[in-house]
Chain A
Amino acid sequence: MNSLVDSDPQPKVPGMTELLNTLYVQTQGASLFLEGDSIRIVIPEHTGRNIVPLRRIQEIVAFGNVNVSNPLLTRCAADARSVTWMSAGGRFLNRLDGPTRGNVLLRHAQHLHHANARATLETARGFVAGKLQNSRQILLKGARDAQRGQDEIRAKAENIAEAIIAIPEAGDLDVLRGIEGEASRRYFEGFRFLLRRDLDVGAFPSRIRRPPTDPINALLSFFYGLTRSIAQGAAEQVGLDPYIGFLHGLRPAKPALALDLMEELRAPIADRLALTLLNRRQLTAEHFETLPGGAVQLTEPGRTIALTAWREAMTKERPHRLHGRRIPTALLPAVQARILARHIRGELPDYMPWMI
């Protein structure tokens, strides 16, 4: 029988195996129990044994109302297998970590990486490149369906393409941020034409935040908040310090790394979903309210529609080039945070943004 145990004929590929062994539980009301060397998952109104070997699980992530038994928690802590709780919407709540996790080393590496101006600039380039490339793709794809301004949209996409070429030449962070800001402005000028003309929510003047003063900006801000929370949750989950960012500067209470991680997700996830909801008239003027002072926000029914669409969008699988397979949108930030962690540890020469 020992003939089974010989050296593996295939070389050990240093692949992204971490994600493969994560157990995500998002069914509300599910309970997890320890049974021998496996996890028994009990889901209400779901009969049948649901058993997963603990050996194959490196990490458990529970969204919302999920119960984890004490024996299982103790076992996970003993095996240095982390358990993370997120709100049903993906906000980071808390995390149980084993005693031997290398998080402090990763965080230390992150701080050292940040202290190295050159390394910081290189990593920041990755975030900007991902953001601009994805923004450009959203414009180009949107131009095909746009009722008007197709030439303008393509012109803005061309502006962004030029900005992408300028990224490697940016000599410092301020120049890089300038390129990003300018390209972002061009993007929103094009974004305006992606909205149907006959919408009752008013025009999109330009990107206005803190506070948004029109429905379209209010919707964008709402989705950016959700995107930020999944990006921050992903950073926490992987063990990175969400407040030490590379593109975004350090400021008290500013999760700079979460903001870095969400850049490449903004256009394809948040903006695209906002466009869809508005253009299909699932959200109309009645779903927004103006507060005293001029800030506009979603009404409660409007929020329900937006959140339902968000949750649905989070389950949609999207292709990931580095992994060569499709990944649910909700997991993209975690995948990217892991790629970033590998880059920070020196295992990957560059940060590879997720690109649509």
Chain B
Amino acid sequence: MELLLTYDVSTIDPPGRNRLRRVAKLCEGYGMRVQKSVFEIVCSDADLLVLLDKVQRIIDHDQDSIRIYRVPKGSLRDVKTLGTAAPLPHDDALIL
């Protein structure tokens, strides 16, 4: 499935900044960062369950906000970009 994950983690205090870093690290293991707090994720149902569980353990439920949108298959490939944004090769061989 293809997901769009956005997060808003409160950074007014050091524990908040710590949570922000942990959320970012976690997301990097699941998808590609497309903007500072936006990730495009391609994963399986099982991966999503694990991700949701891990995120819930990290965030402060009173201060932080996570939104996960499930987008139709192929959306991440068809994305329209402007400026410095570039589509990411989620399904292609990654050649560096």
Contacts and interface: CB of A to CB of B under 8 A. Distances in A.
A10 B73 contact: yes
A191 to B, nearest CB: 32
A57 B52 CA distance: 21
Contacts of A57: 94
Nearest to B95: A24
B42 interface: yes
A38 B96 contact: no
A20 B96 contact: no
Interface in A1-48: 1-2, 4-6, 8, 10, 19-20, 22-27, 30, 35-38, 41, 43
A53 B73 contact: no
B58 interface: no
A37 B29 contact: yes
Contacts of B52: 1-2
Tell me whether chain B's interface is mostly helix, strand or loop, or mixed: mixed
A197 interface: no
A54 interface: yes
In which size bucket is the chain B interface? 20 to 34
Given A4-B48, A10-B73, A53 B28 contact: yes
Interface residues of A, number: 34
A26, A54, A56 — most chain B CB neighbours (10 Å): A56
A51 B96 contact: no
A278 B52 CA distance: 60
A4 B45 CA distance: 8
B29 A53 contact: yes
A313 interface: no
Given A5-B48, A55-B43, A55-B47, A36 B25 contact: yes
Contacts, number: 72
A24 B94 CA distance: 6
Which of B25, B26, B70, B94 lies at the interface centre, i.e. has the most chain A CB atoms within 10 A of its CB?
B94
A36 B94 contact: no
Contacts of A43: 96
A51 B33 contact: yes
Contacts of B33: 49, 51
Contacts of B70: 4
A229 B49 CA distance: 43
A331 interface: yes
Interface string B24-61: 01101111110000000011010111001000000000
A294 interface: no
B90 interface: yes
Nearest to A62: B96
Interface string B52-96: 100000000000000010100100000000000000001111111
Interface of B: 1, 3, 25-26, 28-33, 42-43, 45, 47-49, 52, 68, 70, 73, 90-96
7 contacts: A4-B68, A26-B95, A35-B28, A37-B28, A52-B94, A56-B42, A57-B94
6 nearest interchain CB pairs? A37-B29, A24-B95, A38-B28, A23-B94, A36-B25, A20-B91
